Amino acid sequence: MKRKSRQSVLTAVRMALLSTMVGYLMFDTKDSGAVHANPGAMNEKAAASVGARVLPTAPLLKVEPK
């Protein structure tokens, strides 16, 4: 009986380790292909480097006081 109990505990530990390793390999987020702009670059320059344009937004409307 004790041997069966110990074997099931070892199996559970092995399964936990295996699932942790598989999860780490599948969801590793450290530099996972994300594109990061140079923090010192201007928006227009960063957008132009990937072929995009930055369009200015319309100014916010001021709410008139009552």
- For residue 62, tell me if it sits in a domain: no
Among 27, 48, 28, 26, which residue's Cα sits nearest to residue 37? 48
- For residue 8, tell me if it sits in a domain: yes
User: How many other CB atoms are found less than 10 A from the CB of residue 47?
Assistant: 15
CA distance 3 to 11: 12
Q: How many domains does the chain have?
A: 1
- For residue 60, tell me if it sits in a domain: no
Domain with 8 in it: 1-26
- For residue 21, tell me if it sits in a domain: yes
Over the stretch 56-65, which tens digit does the pLDDT of each residue have? 888 777 776 6
- For residue 20, tell me if it sits in a domain: yes
Over the stretch 4-24, which tens digit does the pLDDT of each residue have? 788 999 999 999 999 998 888
- For residue 16, tell me if it sits in a domain: yes
CA distance 5 to 27: 33
Which DSSP helix (H) or strand (E) runs through 13? helix 2-26
The four Cα atoms 17, 19, 20, 21 give a dihedral, to 10 degrees, of 90
Q: What is the pTM of this model?
A: 0.40
